[in-house]
Amino acid sequence: MIGRNAARPNVLGVAITAALLASCGGQSSAPQLPTTSGAQASLSQPTSTARSDHAPRYSIQDLGTLGGTFSQAGGLNNRGSVAGFSTRAGDMTVHAFLWQDARLTDLGTGGQPNSFTSEDYPINDRDDVTGYLDTSTPDPNGEDYCLVGDHHICLPFVWRKGAITTLPLPGGNNGQALQINNRGQIVGQGETGVIDPKCQAPQVYDYVATVWGPGKGQLQKLPPYGNDTQAVAFGINGRGEIVGSSGKCQLQSKSLGFIEAILWRNGKPINLGNLGGRIFNTAFSINNKSEITGQASLRGSSHGFHFHAYLWRRGAMADLGTLPGDVISLGNGINDSTQIAGLSFPPGSGTAHGFLWQNGVMYDMNSIIPKHSPIIVLEALGINNRGQIAGYGFDRNTSNVHGYIATPCDAANHDLKGCRDTRGTSTPPDFVLPPKARALLERMNRRRFGVWPGSNVSSHQQVQKRSVVP
């Protein structure tokens, strides 16, 4: 949940999913189109990961930090403004930021210890930013809704014109604001105040997909699918169509634990189907053509740990596969040109890579940026209608993890740094994160994956750690 939960990977995602893959193994499957009725069709243009003579090229820019060593870009708008979060000096606190015209603005914390954005397009074209605050108030039920380990109350917020405003809750103590559209509608999740004995400790209350706005103080609860008791809304388009997940009560985790990928139209949930597996199906992003991306588990993955990115359109879900040699992928963002930004994981302890999928081809982001780029892309989180991509990567100059924005080298941007580099591109070898960078990444990523279903042990205690060295 939470937040892609907000953390979609970060920090923790890279480590836990890699270990996850090691335990499940498997190979990429050919793209198919399971429909909600179980029928299948083939893509008119099959997904491929082979290099093309017409492969796109990108310039990439390090966003820097707010004084600490870690930053992550959560998403970007069509103006090229980026929202994300960064550690402050000393790496003990985290603040949300807005990046515009090569400048980072600290959005503050509303008087609380920490503020975060999600990885779900937490910014609209008016530069309004959504997120959640890790407060200084202990949760009365001992819940850890922000998934940062302090068991404090977690509050949804919107930042507009220099000020943070917290959003109302549907009855409980906690919530998260994950995405905002240009109409000012905000989606996320909020506790209902209803005790659910089936919740996995320390979660106590049920939580539901929540819509705030567009008017001040407006709040709508979206129903879960069928007999499910929980739901989270991760994305909303300009038409007010909303996507997310539905399932049973557990610790909040964006990628792990939900059963159904859901589209809400006019407040009614529609099951998007799956790729053969019955759990860990999630919808993360929807464009203005009602095309959707996310992750769906594959047939035969009994524990749901083998999932792929997908493209859903016109009632059918297409498996996008993985990068060559990888076994797991997920789609984070989709624009109105049906370009998808995402993440692909290898088996074992190899290096995760961000990808760009377009016109049936999946490209490793590291193969389409300048060969000697100081940034090694670890994840692609958002993509705007100009084709710009935001995410995070390993900075070879500082040995830290930083947010980035990548811009296509098209006619309008041919003079950008790196666009005239004719030395070619190449995928860097596998590497391991230095201990400090790895620890920060895992700490941030805990918000995304939380704990494994059926266990009270945090995921970073159960998975194999990995590191990074160029």
Instruction: Note the pLDDT of residue 33.
Output: 31
DSSP percent split of the chain into helix, strand, coil, nearest 5 = 10, 40, 50
Q: In sequence order, what are the beta bridge partners of 79?
A: none
Q: Quick check: 459 and 449 in contact, CB under 8 A?
A: yes
Which is more confident, 416 or 222? 222
pLDDT above 90 as % of the chain: 64
The average confidence (pLDDT) of the chain is: 82
Instruction: Note the pLDDT of residue 147.
Output: 87
pLDDT confidence band for 170 (50 / 70 / 90): very high
Instruction: Note the pLDDT of residue 422.
Output: 52
pLDDT confidence band for 432 (50 / 70 / 90): confident
Which is more confident, 53 or 310? 310
Per-residue pLDDT tens over the stretch 445-460:
766 654 322 222 222 2
Per-residue pLDDT tens over the stretch 83-98:
999 999 999 999 999 9
CA pair distance 143, 447, nearest whole angstrom: 13
Q: Quick check: 102 and 124 in contact, CB under 8 A?
A: no
Residue 408 pLDDT greater than 80, yes or no: yes
User: 108-112, 217-221, 348-352, 415-419: lowest mean pLDDT where?
Assistant: 348-352
Task: Tell me the CB-side half-sphere exposure of residue 381, using CA atoms within 13 A.
Answer: 38
Which is more confident, 318 or 1? 318
Which is more confident, 174 or 448? 174
The pTM for the full model equals 0.86
Instruction: Note the pLDDT of residue 255.
Output: 46
Per-residue pLDDT tens over the stretch 221-276:
999 999 999 999 999 999 999 999 999 886 555 445 578 999 999 999 999 999 99
Per-residue pLDDT tens over the stretch 73-131:
989 999 999 999 999 999 999 999 999 999 999 999 999 999 999 887 899 999 999 99
Q: Quick check: 326 and 28 in contact, CB under 8 A?
A: yes
pLDDT confidence band for 34 (50 / 70 / 90): very low
Q: Quick check: 223 and 231 in contact, CB under 8 A?
A: yes
Burial bucket for residue 232 (CB in 10 Å: 0-12, 13-18, 19+): buried
CA pair distance 54, 252, nearest whole angstrom: 41
Which is more confident, 448 or 407? 407
pLDDT confidence band for 461 (50 / 70 / 90): very low
In order of their start, the domains of the chain are 10-462 (2.130.10.150)
Between the alpha carbon of residue 275 and those of residues 251, 302, 326, 448, the distances in Å are 24, 13, 17, 22
Instruction: Note the pLDDT of residue 42.
Output: 34
Instruction: Note the pLDDT of residue 32.
Output: 34
Across 137-143, average pLDDT: 97
For 335, the token pair is: 């624009």
Instruction: Note the pLDDT of residue 349.
Output: 65
Across 213-217, average pLDDT: 92
pLDDT confidence band for 11 (50 / 70 / 90): very low
Instruction: Note the pLDDT of residue 68.
Output: 97
Residue from 257, 326, 234 nearest 27 by CA: 326
pLDDT confidence band for 280 (50 / 70 / 90): confident
Across 205-230, average pLDDT: 95
Between the alpha carbon of residue 101 and those of residues 62, 87, 386, the distances in Å are 12, 21, 16
